[in-house]
Amino acid sequence: MNLRTDWVFKLISLLTAMTLYVYVQSERNPTIQRSFNVAITPVNVTEGLDYDLDAPTLAITVSGQKSVLEGLKETDIRALADMHRLNPEVYTPQAIPLQLQLPNLPAQSVKGLAFDPPTPSVRVQIYQPATKTLPVTALYPKEPPVGFRYGNPEIQPGRVRLMGRAEKIKRVTHLVVNALPSGAGAKVDGEFTVQARDSEDRPVEGILLEPNAVRVVVPLQEEPPSKIVLVSADVSEPPSYPYTITEVRVEPSQLKLLGRPERLTNLSTISTEPISAKAFTQNQTVTVRLNTPPDIGLRDDEDKPITSVKVTFIIKKLASSEEPRTAKPNTEEGGASKSSPPNRPAGAP
């Protein structure tokens, strides 16, 4: 009887001790719940894959000991979406599981945590890629060092292939590279990243470029002596009476001459080839070649070679009481003209 009584008391004592221990522990380190909004991170993404997640974050509730969860932050929890689980040929939304990681917590502490939902997932929409090929334009400093000029740029390769979502590819109108010289007074020579831009010159993101960089070489050439001169329209025959020229406009009205200094000193104008205005009875605009000396180079205001200009004649019909007169050059436009007064027909008043 004594043995039985002692055994019962001992069992009661043990249960009481265990109860007190659990109670004390729960009071000192109770189990709590916390809610987090965790960013979803895609991993193992195939290059060029265009996709959208149905949600950028995961709402999750974590249960565990207070001492573990008290200092836990959203950035301590990682929700990884393994993109290798997707079928790249399926263009309807696909669900893939998310892997939860807490790299800053000991493994033993992580085992004591419970997550709700226990097996989170995310739906992914894959978009069928579109392609097109565009030429590349090099953007480089407009003002070269004093005494030099930039030559024609060389771009290798000159065309780049674009891959991506159809609506994004459609927005791209041109490809550019910002080609900068390696230093002051140096030519442009190097590998530069290609940028896709829309019609308003804004970058278009989320597009794969093949290749994504090109080599650009812009030679730096010594600038020969130059001089700015006016362009003179050489009118060989005036209009027939009663028509006369009242104004001559030349576009461009002035050009840059390149040549030896002693040769440039003797030139103040460049004339056009002879223009016959004999048949003109109303305003006329004609394109005429320039009378360019063989040892002189001509450039327009964009520093491009030029061989011809546009000449506009303002024609007036004379009244019977008016005398024909020689047209005066339009000084506002800077152009000049050569003409003779028209011959009056016999018997004209």
- Give 5's pLDDT tier (boundaries 50, 70, 90): low
* 318 CB-near residues (< 8 Å, 6+ apart): 241, 242, 243, 244, 324
Residue 194 has pLDDT above 90, yes or no: yes
- Give the C-alpha separation, 96 to 29, whole Å: 36
Residue 269 predicted with pLDDT over 70: yes
Cis, peptide link before residue 117, omega less than 30° from 0:
yes
CB 204 within 8 A of CB 197: yes
* CB-based contact 107:141 (threshold 8 Å): no
The whole model's pTM is what? 0.45
Residue bearing the bigger pLDDT, 226 or 275: 275
Q: What is the pLDDT of residues 115-167, one digit of tens each?
A: 999 999 999 999 888 899 999 999 988 777 766 777 888 999 999 999 988 88
305: its two tokens: 């070679």
Could you give the CA distance from residue 39 to residue 59 in angstroms, rounded to a whole number? 9
> What tokens appear for 254 in the block?
């002035």
Res 132: pLDDT: 94
* Whether the Cβ atoms of residue 207 and residue 163 lie closer than 8 Å to each other: yes
Q: How far is CA 260 from CA 148, 149, 151, 225, in A?
A: 16, 17, 20, 6
The residue among 301, 286, 296, 291 whose CA lies nearest residue 231 is 291
Say what percent of the chain tops pLDDT 90: 51
| Tokens read off for 177 | 């590279």
Q: What is the token pair recorded at 288? A: 């005429």
Q: Give CA 10 to chain center in angstroms.
A: 83
Amino acid at 32: I
Distances (CA, A) of 239 to 68, 245, 248, 335, 348: 101, 7, 13, 19, 15
pLDDT tens digit string along 74-119?
Answer: 999 999 999 999 998 898 999 999 999 999 888 888 888 999 999 9
Percent of the chain surpassing pLDDT 70: 83
What domains appear along the chain, each with residue ranges and CATH number? 2-126 (2.170.120.30), 129-222 (2.170.120.40), 226-338 (2.170.120.40)
Which pLDDT belongs to residue 140?
Answer: 85
The answer on pLDDT for 332 being more than 60 is: no
32: phi then psi, degrees, rounded to nearest 5: -130, 175
pLDDT at residue 79, rounded to an integer? 96
The 10 Å CB-count burial string (b at 16+, else e) for 185-195 is eebbeeebebb
pLDDT, mean of residues 268-285: 94
> Average model confidence (pLDDT) for the chain?
84
Distance CA 327, CA 253 (A): 17
Among 41, 131, 40, 48, smallest CA distance to 88 is for 48
